[in-house]
A and B are shown apart, each in its own frame.
Chain A
Amino acid sequence: MNTLRIGHLPGLNEADLCWQDLPGLQLPSGHCLQVPTLSPAQLQALCAQLRGPGRAALRALPVREIVQAIDASVQQLLDVRSEEHQCLLHWLPLVTGFSAEMVRINLNATLRTYRAPQLQRFIAEDFGSADMLDAFVPRPTGGLTHAEGAALITHVWAGNVPGLALWSLVSGLLVKAGNLGKVSQGEPVLASVFARTLARIAPVLGSAMAVLWWERQEQALAQSAWAASDVVLAFGGDAALADLQRQMPAGVRFLPHGHKISFGAVGREALSASRAPRSARLAAEDLLRHEQQGCYSPQCFYVERGGQVSPQEFAERLAAELQQLATRFPRPQPGLAEATQIAQWRSRFEWDAQVTLIGQPEDGWCVASHAEPVALAPGPLHRCVQVVAIDALDALAPWLQERQPQLQTVGLAVAPERLQPLALRLAACGVTRICALGQMPLPAPGWHNDGRPSLLDLVNLVDLEASAETLAEGLAGYEI
């Protein structure tokens, strides 16, 4: 039996733990993922450990040391010879449904964003320097400010994209908070392996974070987690998030990250005979990485008319790229439900005279090329994408309106003089991240996920006003 136990529970006695199979996963026979089943009393003890001694020890460390510990753990996970790396390569394809090749490529790209230089940038992004997390720092307008991390952050992770959990867990550690992470059934592995590695390399960090899972229906467990938390950071669909929001006790800072939709926008400058092939290649790569399942993955490409290569020709080139990439990265076999969705999506376009459907059902990808603009709409993923012809990218706004609260990333390919004006228009539409075509699933370290600061939302900014300094001066022992 090939069994992996998920979880990291500092302070709890290993002998007192009960384990159950994680439900909802379809693993090959002989494989089994187990999660601990905690009693409400055990969870309360765990929260007390994280909020109390765990966090106190973490808080005593300078940020520099936390960064180094995370860096060392990430190096360990990146090292192909390490047991941890092999464990991830073995389990991630099984639980996520991504191909082994896709997992390998994405894992490295994701982990690389959590090495020391990137983490330092992460902190600089929100606080200028790490000093603010370690001490009080002077403010230009007088007085001092210190960033005090939450005593306990509960993270509710969702979906099957490896790395999502890492982003929020690392953020919590950087602000020296206690962290309770609830893994998703779609990808429970990475957070658990990371937490155990980190705990081995840096026990102080290990004692300030826990990784576990509970049934959504287990209200008693959930309630004790919320009650012990200052911040609850949750990922998921609108319904799940609304449900969580209702459960939050007053005073808990709730940070929801809902499902998002992203798209590419290809300007006519990127559609010259010499540039179009590269543009199509980049678009195909964006689509393939994470099998379109990331919030930042494109579901649609708006392609401008007036280039040497028409939107329809771009669609055909994109199709050719997808076909080529499919040989190296075959599409994971969709389940019956997903296949039904793909079939429904395809057939809707078969009826539509404005749409050319490129790709056969058995191809493992599909491009629907629209001759006229249509509103941005989600599709069935699995490499199904719409290419929409539009006269000018400046006129995108009405087609995005309906999705305004859900917009996230735009992968852009335009000439430099158009970049900022177009970015401003997109910002007004609700887009929160604009990057190069080809970089959509690879957000820069320290990015503002869904337009929010990564770390600032997890701390209280504590002001030490100038008046206190002034009064203190008068109370010094050496004052005459």
Chain B
Amino acid sequence: MARLHADLIPALLDFIASPHADEAAFNALALRLFAHQSQHNTAYARFCRARGRTPATVRHWHEIPAVPVNAFKELTLSCVPVAQCARVFTTSGTTREVKGQHFHPDLDVWNASMRRHFADCVGPLPMRMGILFPDETEMPHSSLAHYLQLALQEHGLSGSRHAWNAEGVDSLAVLALVREAQATGEPLALLGATYSFVHLMDTLAPNPLDLRLPPGSWLLDTGGFKGRSREVPIDAFYDQLSATFGVSRAHCLNMYGMTELSTQCYDAGNASVPSFKRTPHWMRTRAVDPLTGLPVPAGQPGILVHTDLANFNSVTTLLTEDVGLVSEGGFQLLGRAEGAQAKGCSLAVEDFVQAARA
């Protein structure tokens, strides 16, 4: 395992730092990580054997067995013993639900991945920031809390801060940030969970105030509503966001991320939806038939499978429950694979859908 840090980690950091990567370089590193994970990640090794996929038989990164995201709830997917992992991120969910766990020996690669793609896709930077989410000390196991804190540390101008209190989004703190921006004319960025923005707008709605931000401001939401706020059709959400803060929809960014990944994807605004999410050169996304794992014909929706090379300690390749359209350099997210109308009067359908959603 010591070889890991001597060898694989620097290679990975170099890869992320390089300007781009071609198919051959991506494939080589993906296969190297597969060899590593199918040797040291015990649960994954069993899974790969059952599928008849081993480093001896896998020649292309497409052939790396994709792990369904739910497996993170039931299994320990880590090459390094979890006791030696500095950080564990857990999926959100109520206390009653089983949470998925993603173990990280350290966060060097995770942070490098975040920094690089954030800087490439989000901006302008640096910027005064308001974070509509708890900070890292309050939610040490939230990858989103860590992500937002990192954004603030790396790119936040003085005066950037969290606007959150025990009740949730601190609307007075947001108001203060907005008033400062309006007074100075300096742009402001607000970043947070999608549902935080909905809560904020709902709180402010009864007393309409002028919250329009100076030119150059942008907004970044992520994660969807997750049943924590009312569900808003996505077009209406960006209309309202744009109207409330006076930021054009082209500057309302959305980040696609998952606890089970170590890399995020970004669109270039949401002037029209669904937006196109860009993957960085160390992550590739395919659309597959979930049963066979085979790619769907070009231009057809399929279930998204991500191969994220920054996921060096767990598994690189994940079968999500997201339906999407894939094209060069990224994908369009069409929704969750849960829209199926419950059929029949058998318990299974509804119950199973709920379990899978948890």
Contacts known (A336-B301, A337-B338); A159 close to B68, Cβ less than 8 A: no
Q: Does A81 contact B (CB under 8 A)?
A: no
Q: B343 contacts A350, CB within 8 Å?
A: no
B346 CB to closest chain A CB, in angstroms?
A: 5
CB neighbours (8 Å) of B351 from chain A are: 259, 378
Whether the Cβ atoms of A362 and B292 lie closer than 8 Å is yes
Q: Is A87 an interface residue (CB 8 A)?
A: no
Q: Are B345 and A336 in contact (CB under 8 A)?
A: no
Shortest Cβ gap from B32 to chain A (Å) = 24
B321 in contact (CB, < 8 A): yes
Cα(A96)–Cα(B46), bound, Å: 39
- Least Cβ–Cβ distance between A249 and chain B, in angstroms: 26
Q: Name the distance in Å between A442's Cβ and chain B's nearest Cβ.
A: 15
B348 and A378 contacting across the interface, CB-CB below 8 Å: yes
Question: Chain B residues near A257 (CB, 8 Å)?
Answer: 345
Q: Interface centre among A186, A259, A379, by most B CB within 10 Å?
A: A259
Which residues does chain B contribute within 8 Å of A290, judged by CB atoms?
Answer: 344
Contacting pair B344 A161 (CB below 8 A): yes
Pick out which of these stretches binds chain B: A31-39, A292-300, A305-313, A469-477: A292-300
Q: Which residues of B contact A161 (CB under 8 A)?
A: 344-345
Known: A336-B301, A336-B303, A351-B47. A381 touches B345 (CB 8 A): no
Q: CB within 8 Å of A: which of B72-110?
A: 74-75
Partner of B71, one of A297, A334, A347: A347
- A residues near B338, Cβ cutoff 8 Å: 337
Known A336-B301, A336-B302, A336-B323; judge A260-B346 contact (CB<8 A): yes
The answer to whether B303 touches A361 (Cβ under 8 A) is no
Interface set, chain B 46-76, CB cutoff 8 A to A: 46-47, 50-51, 67-68, 70-71, 74-75
Nearest B residue (CB) for A260: B347
Known: A339-B290, A348-B74. A97 touches B347 (CB 8 A): no
Q: Is the CB–CB distance between B342 and A237 below 8 Å?
A: yes
A185 within 8 A of B: yes
Q: Known A343-B68, A351-B47; judge A293-B343 contact (CB<8 A).
A: yes
- Name the one of B289, B303, B341 contacting A24, with C-beta atoms under 8 angstroms: B341
The verdict on B353 contacting chain A, using a C-beta distance below 8 Å, is yes
- Chain A: interface residue total (CB-CB under 8 A): 54
Which partner residue on chain A sits nearest B67 by CB separation? A347
Residues of A within 8 A of B51 (CB): 350
Report yes or no: A340 in contact with B70, Cβ–Cβ below 8 A: no
Chain A residues closer than 8 Å to B321, beta-carbon distance: 340, 344
Contacts of A280 in B (CB 8 A): none
CB distance from A116 to the nearest CB of B (A): 27
Quick one: which of A186, A334, A381, A403 contacts B346, CB cutoff 8 A? A381
Determine if B43 is an interface residue (Cβ-Cβ < 8 Å): yes
Interface string of B282-309 (1 = CB under 8 A from A): 0000000111110000000111000000
Does residue A58 face the partner (Cβ distance < 8 Å to B)? no
Quick one: CB contact mask for A15-50 with B, threshold 8 Å, 1 for yes?
000000000100000000000000000000000000
Q: Which of A24, A290, A347 has the most B CB atoms < 10 Å from its CB?
A: A347
Interface centre among A97, A292, A351 (most CB of B within 10 A): A351
In the complex, the answer to whether B340 meets A164 with C-beta atoms within 8 Å is no
The answer to the question of B350 belonging to the interface, with a C-beta cut-off of 8 Å to chain A, is yes
Q: Which of A295-342 contact B (CB under 8 A)?
A: 295, 297, 299, 334-342
Q: A344-B70, A347-B71, A378-B351 are in contact. Are A160 and B302 (CB under 8 A)?
A: no
* Residue contact A260 to B350, C-beta cutoff 8 Å: no
CB of A465 within 8 Å of the partner chain: no
A299 x B348 contact (CB < 8 A): yes
Q: Are B345 and A295 in contact (CB under 8 A)?
A: yes
CB of A406 within 8 A of CB of B46, answer: no
* Chain A contacts for B71, CB-based, 8 A: 347-348, 351
List the 7 closest A-B pairs by CB distance, nearest first.
A293-B344, A378-B348, A337-B340, A343-B290, A340-B337, A261-B347, A259-B347
Enumerate 17 A-B pairs (CB-CB under 8 Å) in ascending A order: A158-B342, A164-B345, A186-B341, A258-B347, A259-B349, A262-B346, A291-B344, A336-B323, A338-B340, A339-B289, A341-B352, A343-B290, A347-B71, A348-B70, A348-B74, A361-B292, A362-B292
B-to-A contact residues, CB < 8 Å? 43, 46-47, 50-51, 67-68, 70-71, 74-75, 289-293, 301-303, 319, 321, 323, 337-353, 356
